[in-house]
Structures are given as structure tokens and as C-alpha cells.
Amino acid sequence: MSQSHPSANIRWGIIGTGYISTLFVKDLVIAQNHSSTPARHVIEAVATSSLNKGLKFLEATETTLQNPKIYTKQEDLYADGQIDIVYVGLPHSMHKDACLNAIAAGKHVLCEKPMAINAKEVDEIIALASQKKVFVMEALWTRFLPVIRELRTLIHEEMVIGKVSRMFCDFSCDMGALPSTSRIKDRNLGGGALLDLGIYTLTLSNLILDGQVGEKALQSEISSRMTVVDGVDHSVAIVVSYPSTQCLGILTASLESTTERDFCRIEGSRGVIILSGPMAAKPTSIRIQRYNNTTDEVREFEHPGNGFYFEANSVASCILAGKLESDVMPLAETRRIAAIMDEVRKTGGVLYPQD
Amino acid sequence: MSQSHPSANIRWGIIGTGYISTLFVKDLVIAQNHSSTPARHVIEAVATSSLNKGLKFLEATETTLQNPKIYTKQEDLYADGQIDIVYVGLPHSMHKDACLNAIAAGKHVLCEKPMAINAKEVDEIIALASQKKVFVMEALWTRFLPVIRELRTLIHEEMVIGKVSRMFCDFSCDMGALPSTSRIKDRNLGGGALLDLGIYTLTLSNLILDGQVGEKALQSEISSRMTVVDGVDHSVAIVVSYPSTQCLGILTASLESTTERDFCRIEGSRGVIILSGPMAAKPTSIRIQRYNNTTDEVREFEHPGNGFYFEANSVASCILAGKLESDVMPLAETRRIAAIMDEVRKTGGVLYPQD
């Protein structure tokens, strides 16, 4: 198979045409010109509430020339036999139904994070996917970035900072200007800092404090506090501890302040690693400070687009290989983080209608 | 009363001649030349295990010329009618008995922090002090630094960063080189990161997140995690939340890593304040970053000695005024923090023989 013209097509059906779908589909277009792409990403169809919205989406994502179908009913997209995989880019509270409908129609699914509102909903999705034998993954794109692969090698294989004892990670975006009707502040749409931002800090702590993911992961324990406005968490602080390795993760997320570029500090017995970037979802630099060396070592990671195409290409590889889940983002990992978020919300008193 | 030659004497009896006592007494000497000193600090006597240790202490603290008495039995110091106030600079586990003995002898007491191992011991000390009508204070010297007075004015009166929503504070010192027999790693001597270092982060969070102290302070709730080695906490993370003001304090302390100079970040609705210095016990700089201003405002605080003399002078003023406790560091505040530390240790499984 030629790398520049892969023979296989992966035909995507896109549900939802908001901000995140726009970024994702723009990256699918970039992925087509990416040397490591395992398949040609075809935008087969888009489902949105009006034809006009659909046309605007095609323009914004530069997919007009691909001439995707525009469906104004999601059911029509699920029924489309030309579609291999459904990408779900809706508000959190609509993820479960979209996933279940797509899976029921025999489609593979890539669903934005969080996969669902709570672990119970995640279980429903996993159960149906298992029965229908389709590939399903939560779109935790950060895990697929080369910077994360490098970070894990440095920490767990090369052990450049020795035994990790503690890490801090913050993901905060000041959303004070957003109205209380915004999705992110609306309890009925699964709003709050934890599900939108905190999920990335939990993801990073799992990756940094543990060499394994999902079922193989180490047991952790958590403590947490939230501040709650109109039923959703505006700020959350989580302490994760690993009894077997005696290390602590201090994870914070907030809608009321903004993280500095150095958003994550990892402390080990032989040095410190600082992760930097525009946000915890997108590290772009690893800075290694070794205790026995006065000069920092910095590794920069830049790439075109938003960085979603690493994830998209990995998903394409899984589907071409007939896999039902990703080794990088297995379903057990989605389930594990959903259960942690349930526990944090319960402690903090944030309950959604779905709970 | 002339400021350079105050007419009143405060006659100190020093119990313990280790590191902290040395620093404190050196600062008492500096305080005598301090323009705002309300009394002449006289080193009346020192109690230590041998005459030789006592002589070395006088030399190290440059108090030889004052010709203090050296007692090799603490009882003799308590019985000395020339002593107004006893300074207790012993390991934590010996604080309670020293305080009770000094108070029983009718002495005022300044006791190094933590005042005692747990809240129960603090209660015993407070009860006897109340009965004997002497002044007692926990030596939380940081509270008396001009930088802290300025910080509180900026936050609570001028509200330069608006409503505070969140703060982070770390106090960590890598003590990996210390043997397991060190006081700080010995369970029988009240070792661990919380009582030695974490107490400062709790102190700062109370000062920063609340305009009041002690009995007038706001109700807070805490969550915490510890890592424990040989029965003492090597690392602790505490999240303090204030239900009435919806703000969070994220406080950490560790014996396994070292805090950067910017050890505390305070986030508000209109800006951020960064506290810097060699350690959380001793802030030396306040940096104000206002959201509507690209230029940071920095205030530096430097002073001769270790900074203990602000505390010593405040204690002298209280005694001259016949007060039985300090408004800056009232006994209710000592009691409050002791109870929080009890709760954190209980959750983390660190119990001392005194508990």
C-alpha cells in the first residue's frame, strides 16, 4: 500500500456540526495528506438540524469538494450503508443515544469525551458494542499525540526523572463571559468543569503515574472537592493516590481561571518534568530538569492542524485490522475514568438527570 | 519610652538549643536594635542537656555577653523567678510537657509550631494557660511578617485580584538524604511532612482565603491524601473548600521534592497573585498580575536575620499590654489547625503514640 495513496477508505458519518466536529473534520482532511495515514478518510455524510447548517459545516471544514451527503435526521445517517464509522460530536448528554443508535445500525463509533454522562451509560454502550461486534472508542485524542508517547517513554521506560513521586496538572479556562445557558454551565447538558476539562487531567495522571491503561492499570484512590454553581461544578480538585507506588496526583480544573502555559509538573527522584502548551488537552513541550544538571532539556512538538488526526489515523488502523477497541484508549480505561468522575461528582453533590 | 532604648525588659528562658532555637535567639538579638521593638529582649537563661551545649549555643547566638544562665535541668529554668516567658524549641513530641510545666510555673509561653502533637494536647495547654492566666502562643512567625500583612491588605481590603476563587500552595523540601532516625522521619517524635511543613500551607490558606482568624474564621471542609513511609507522612495533599465563599485551597507538602521559588498562586476574578520566596514559611515577594494590565506589579520584602523578630516583638507587646493571647495568632486558630491536621492524619493513617 502506497503511503501517499492508501488503497483503503474509511467512510465517516459525522453527527453534530459544532465547534469540536469542525476541528475534528478539518483534521481528517489534513490526515489525508499525512505520510503515516493508513487509509483515506472520506467524509461520507453529515447529520445536522438543517441543510443550511450542513452546508456551512462543509465550507468550514473544506469538505465541499468531497460532496458529503447532508442528513437533517440522524436516523438517515445511521441507515446509510456507505458509512463505516460514526463520529459523535454532540453535547455530552446526547452521547449515549447517538452511540447506541450508531452501534445498533452496525456502525463503528468514535465518540467525543466523555463517552457518556456516567459509568452506567458507558456500560450500556460497551455492552451493545460487544454484542454488535463493532469498534467503539472515546475520542481522547490527547493520548494519541506524539508528545504523550514521548513522555511515557521518558517516564516509564527511560525513567529520566527516576521514580515519580508526585504530579500536578491543571486545566482551567475562564468561562465567566459565557451565559448560564451555555452547554458548559447547563446541568441538563452535562455541564461542569470535570466532564469537560477535568477528564484530561485524569487522563494525564493515569498516563504519567502508571505505565499501563484500562484493565491492567494500577489501583488508585481518590479524594476530591468541588465548588458548585447552579448544579454544575465550576471548580474541582482531585487528589489521586496510588497505594502500591506511593505517589500522588494533584489534579484541578476550573471554569473561573486560566491555566498558565506550564500546566503540569511531574516530580521524580532524579528530576522534574514540566509539560507546557496552550492547555492540558494539548501539550506541546516537555522540559526535563535533572537534579544533577543545571541545563534543562526541552523537546518541542508542533504539527499542522489541531492534532486530532493522530487519533483518527489510529482509529482507521484499528478498523482495518478488525479490532473492536484501541490499545491506546481501551474501553476499560473509559469505564475507569467514568467511574472516578461519578465518585467525584457524588462527593461534590453534582448529579445529572441521568444519574 | 524611647524607641531605641525601651524601658521594659522581656526576660526569655530558652528550652532546647537546636537549629530553630538558634535562629530564634539570633533574631531576638537583632530585635533589640530594631526601631519598633517594644521591649529589650533579655536572654535570661537557657536549658539544655549539658553545659557544653549551652556554651556553644550562647556563642552561636552571640549572647555570651548577656551572660545567660545555663541550666542542665528544665525544672531549674521553670523555677527561675527572673524569667518572664519560656520559648519552647524542642521536637514536637516534647512540646506539650514543656508548655504545661512552664505554664504551671506561671511563665508566659511561646512554643514552636505545631504547639502540640494533636488537638487534644493543645486543649490541655489552653486549659492550663487559662487557669494560670499566662500568655501562650504557637510560634507561627510567618503570620507576623510584613509581607503577610501586606498580602492580607491587598486581598481582603483592597481586593486587587477581586474575589478569590482558588489558591495553590506547596511547601516541600527534599529530605531524602536524612536518615530514618531523623526527627522529621521518626513517628515517636511527631515526624512527617504535615506537622513540619504542611502547617504553613494551612496557615497561608487560612490567611488568604479568609479575612478572619480563630473563632471568627469561616467554616471550611477538607479532603486529603497522604503517602506514608514507616508510619509518617512523606507527602500530603489537602483540598480545603469554603462552602460560604465557594473557593478552594490546594495545599501540598512533601519530604521528597523541593518547591520552586513561586510556591503559591492565588487566583481571583480580576487577577492572580504569586507569592515567592525560599519556602512557604518565608514569602519574600508578592507579584500581582492583573487581567487588565500587561505589566506585573512586584513588591519585595527583605529584612535582616530570619524574620522571627517580628513575632518576638509582637509577643513582647502582648505581654506588656497584659494580654493572654495574640490577635494575630489566637489560641482558637492553633486549635483549629490542630484539628484539621488530626483529621488529615486520621484519613491518611498516620497516628502518633499520643493520639
- The phi and psi torsions of A106 (rounded to 5 degrees) equal 85, 15
Which residues does A95 contact at the CB level (< 8 Å), separation at least 6? A88, A111, A112, A114, A115, A116, A117, A121
Q: Does A289 touch chain B (CB under 8 A)?
A: no
Q: Which residues of B touch A231 (CB under 8 A)?
A: none
Task: Name the burial class of residue B198, with classes exposed (0-12), middle (13-18) and buried (19+) by CB atoms within 10 angstroms of its CB.
Answer: buried
Query: If pLDDT is split at 50, 70 and 90, which confidence band does B236 have?
Result: very high
C-alpha cell of residue A42: 472520506
Q: What DSSP letter does each residue of B165-224 carry, written as one string?
A: EEEEEEEE---TTS-TTSGGG-GGGT-SHIIIIIHHHHHHHHHHH-S--GGGSPP-EEEE
Q: Rounded mean pLDDT of B21-29?
A: 95
CA atoms in the 13 A half-sphere facing the CB of A147: 23
Q: Does B201 touch chain A (CB under 8 A)?
A: no
* Chain B residue nearest residue A252, CA to CA: B250
Which helix or strand (DSSP H or E) is residue A264 part of? Answer: strand A262-268
Task: Name the burial class of residue A70, with classes exposed (0-12), middle (13-18) and buried (19+) by CB atoms within 10 angstroms of its CB.
Answer: buried
Query: If pLDDT is split at 50, 70 and 90, which confidence band does B5 have?
Result: low
Q: Nearest by CB to A239, which of B165, B166, B223?
A: B223
Which amino acid, one-letter code, is at B300?
Answer: E
Distance from CA of A307 to the nearest CA of B (A): 29
* Chain B residue nearest residue A344, CA to CA: B223
Rounded to whole angstroms, how far apart are CA atoms B217 and B215? 6
A9-139 and A142-308+337-348: identical CATH topology = no
Best of B256, B258, B261, B290 to disrupt the A interface by mutation (most A CBs within 10 Å)? Answer: B256
What is the count of residue pairs from A and B with beta carbons less than 8 Å apart?
Answer: 92
Inter-chain touch B166–A256, beta carbons under 8 Å: yes
Q: Nearest by CB to A239, which of B165, B166, B225?
A: B225
Distance from CA of A86 to the nearest CA of B (A): 40
Q: Does B344 touch chain A (CB under 8 A)?
A: no
Distance from CA of B201 to the nearest CA of A (A): 15
C-alpha cell of residue A335: 469505564
Which residues does A26 contact at the CB level (< 8 Å), separation at least 6? A60, A61, A62, A305, A306
pLDDT of amino acid A304: 82
Distance from CA of B211 to the nearest CA of A (A): 20
B168-187 residues touching A, CB cutoff 8 A: 168, 176
Best of B197, B201, B234, B235 to disrupt the A interface by mutation (most A CBs within 10 Å)? Answer: B235
Q: Rounded mean pLDDT of B113-142?
A: 98
Distance from CA of A237 to the nearest CA of B (A): 7
Inter-chain touch A227–B241, beta carbons under 8 Å: yes
Query: If pLDDT is split at 50, 70 and 90, which confidence band does B1 have?
Result: very low
Best of B241, B343, B347 to disrupt the A interface by mutation (most A CBs within 10 Å)? Answer: B241
What's the DSSP call for residue B77? H
C-alpha cell of residue A220: 488508585
- The phi and psi torsions of B268 (rounded to 5 degrees) equal -130, 180
Inter-chain touch A241–B221, beta carbons under 8 Å: no
- Tens of pLDDT, residues B317-338: 999 999 999 999 999 999 999 9
Query: If pLDDT is split at 50, 70 and 90, which confidence band does B4 have?
Result: very low
Rounded to whole angstroms, how far apart are CA atoms A10 and A83? 8
Which amino acid, one-letter code, is at A267?
Answer: E
pLDDT of amino acid A5: 52
Q: Which residues of A touch B227 (CB under 8 A)?
A: 165, 241, 246-248
Q: Does B83 touch chain A (CB under 8 A)?
A: no
Which residues of chain A are under the pLDDT cut of 50? 1-4
Distance from CA of A291 to the nearest CA of B (A): 10
pLDDT of amino acid A4: 47
pLDDT of amino acid B294: 87
pLDDT of amino acid A116: 98
Inter-chain touch A272–B250, beta carbons under 8 Å: no
Q: Which residues of A touch B235 (CB under 8 A)?
A: 165-166, 246, 248
pLDDT of amino acid A1: 36
Q: Which residues of B touch A225 (CB under 8 A)?
A: 221-223, 239-241, 248
Architecture of domain B142-308+337-348: 2-Layer Sandwich (3.30)
- Tens of pLDDT, residues B204-227: 999 999 999 999 999 999 999 999
Q: Nearest by CB to B166, which of A223, A246, A254?
A: A254
Inter-chain touch A267–B248, beta carbons under 8 Å: no
CATH homologous superfamily for the domain A9-139: NAD(P)-binding Rossmann-like Domain (3.40.50.720)
Inter-chain touch A225–B239, beta carbons under 8 Å: yes
* Chain A residue nearest residue B237, CA to CA: A239
- Tens of pLDDT, residues A24-45: 999 999 887 777 789 999 999 9
Percent of residues, chain A, with pLDDT higher than 70 = 98
A38 touches A144 (CB < 8 A): no
Distance from CA of B23 to the nearest CA of A (A): 29
Q: Does B205 touch chain A (CB under 8 A)?
A: no
CATH class of B9-140: alpha beta
pLDDT of amino acid A2: 37
- The phi and psi torsions of A186 (rounded to 5 degrees) equal -100, 115
* Domain extent listing, chain A: 9-139, 142-308+337-348
